[in-house]
Amino acid sequence: MKYLRKNSKLLALESKIHDKGFSFIAGVDEVGRGPLAGPVVAAAVILPTKERLPAVDDSKKLNEKQREELYKYIINIPGIDYSIIEITPDKIDEVNILRATHIAMIEAVNKLQKVDFILVDGLPVKGFSQPSEAVVKGDSKSASIAAASIIAKVHRDNLMKKYDKVYPKYGFAKHKGYGTKAHLEALQQFGVTEIHRKSFAPVRDIITPPPEQLSLF
């Protein structure tokens, strides 16, 4: 296992905020905005300051094996505080994907034991009770956000592998619910499942096809 050095650029944001007097800095990230099926998942992580930290990175830059190894290591770091929140497809359909993502992030932070500052990946999120800073491409700039991205990604991938066993004709273990050609073809052939997001256009069009598609059914 490789470890972050004290002067790593991935710890610069946390160090700056610690110098301002904050002690419990949570990194927050989400995964699963784009898929046609499955939940959106957010994770929040507070890394301990006195333990060696693994050389985390943006989860999208890591392969599956690397993510899984880091996930197991991260969640077992002494003194770590982390949480995971899933927002179901039904809730996504009810409130829209952006709002669902924000709800997941806020709830993930609220599940932590103690937080006094938040680093959130991407654009600002309204609704946090604590001061926060939005960091574009934060999972490549902050160790806390990178750790959250890895936890959220591995957790969601594992969920989709379980759904693959429930719905073996859709290929969820491979595409994780994203709108690949194989997934769209399965939707056309086998229809919509309980874990599909019915407000997303490719799914909605199968449930209620637009006029130009009616002749196909």
For each of the chain's 217 residues, which pLDDT tens digit applies?
889 988 899 999 999 999 999 999 999 999 999 999 999 999 999 999 989 999 998 788 889 999 999 999 999 999 999 999 999 999 999 999 999 999 999 999 999 999 999 999 999 999 999 999 999 999 999 999 999 999 999 999 999 999 999 999 999 999 999 999 999 999 999 999 999 999 999 999 999 876 554 444 4
Tell me if 1 is assigned to some domain: no
* 8 Å CB contact between 43 and 29: yes
Q: With both helix axes pointing from N to C terminus, report the angle between 143-166 and 64-74 in degrees, rounded to the nearest 10.
A: 110
Task: Look at residue 210 in the predicted model and tell me its pLDDT.
Answer: 64
Tell me if 165 is assigned to some domain: no
pTM: 0.93
Question: What DSSP element (H or E) covers 82?
Answer: strand 81-87
- We report the CATH number of the domain holding residue 59 as 3.30.420.10
Tell me if 195 is assigned to some domain: no
Tell me if 16 is assigned to some domain: yes
Tell me if 33 is assigned to some domain: yes
Tell me if 133 is assigned to some domain: yes
Instruction: Report strand pairing: 40-46 vs 25-31.
Output: antiparallel
Which residue range forms the structural domain that includes residue 116? Answer: 9-156
Total domains in the chain come to: 1
Task: Let me know if 32 is exposed, middle or buried by CB neighbors in 10 A (0-12, 13-18, 19+).
Answer: buried
Tell me if 144 is assigned to some domain: yes
Tell me if 189 is assigned to some domain: no
* 8 Å CB contact between 28 and 108: yes
